[in-house]
Amino acid sequence: MRDAYPEGSVVIRLHGVQGPIGGLFAATVRDLQSSNPFTRVNNTKSAHLTDDRVAEELLKIEAMVNDSTRKVGPIYHLAASEAMSPYEIAVAFADELGISPNIITPSTQEVYEAKHPHMVPRPKKVTLDTALYEKTFNEGKTLPTTRASITDFVQLGYAKQTDQ
């Protein structure tokens, strides 16, 4: 890395990358498609992007890092521009897939952790400030919201792949 970039490297911190098999999005789609009641936490927030969007953004970064006329800094955050709770995500997926959200029960993180003592406690808000990334690599445009990422997940056909 030092030979390729003698001025230093760029660090990209990612959060909430969602692909077709693992992660919250795929688990939520599987739970909705099973038609069995399930619970999602409604008092925590996180900001998710699809793996496809992350790959596009990483290619942008690579192009700019290799452009000697551009100066890029050392650390950037890449995540959705707006966070949602796991419960809000589940309801949005139900809407996107035409499934009744009646099987989704909201719960607080505290109640959920008490019922699942093996879980590692989670912070209430897991988001990254993407402003510097958006200014440097995205011409000042905001990254997609988590809601837009849900639509992307379905349009990419990932919702059909989760039943594997």
In a domain, 39, yes or no: yes
Q: What separation in angstroms does the CA of 75 have from each of 9, 104, 118?
A: 9, 38, 33
The label of the residue with tokens 């009744």 reads 100
Whether the predicted pLDDT of 94 surpasses 50: yes
Whichever domain contains 73, its CATH number is: 3.40.50.720
Number of domains the chain is built from: 1
Looking at the DSSP bridge assignments, the partners of residue 41 are 107
What average pLDDT does the structure give for the chain? 88
The residue ranking higher by pLDDT, 102 or 61, is: 102
40 close to 90: Cβ distance less than 8 angstroms: yes
Per-residue pLDDT band for 164 (boundaries 50, 70, 90) equals: very low
pLDDT, position 81: 92
**What pLDDT shows up at residue 103?**
97
Percent of the chain with pLDDT over 90: 57
Is position 154 within any domain?
yes
CA triplet 88, 76, 123: central angle to 5 degrees?
40
Is position 3 within any domain?
no
Cα–Cα distance measured from residue 164 to residue 161, given in angstroms and rounded to the nearest whole number: 6
Q: Are 60 and 104 spatial neighbours (Cβ–Cβ below 8 Å)?
A: no
- 133-161 pLDDT tens trace: 898 888 889 999 999 999 999 999 998 86
**In sequence order, what DSSP letters do the residues of 47-59 get, joined into one string?**
--EEHHHHHHHHH
End-to-end C-alpha distance for the chain, whole angstroms: 37
Give helix 146-155 / helix 86-97 axis angle, nearest 10°: 40
Per-residue confidence band for 32, with pLDDT thresholds at 50, 70 and 90: very high
Residue 4 lies in a domain: no
| Interval 112-131 mean pLDDT | 81
Q: Which range marks the domain in which residue 26 is found?
A: 11-161
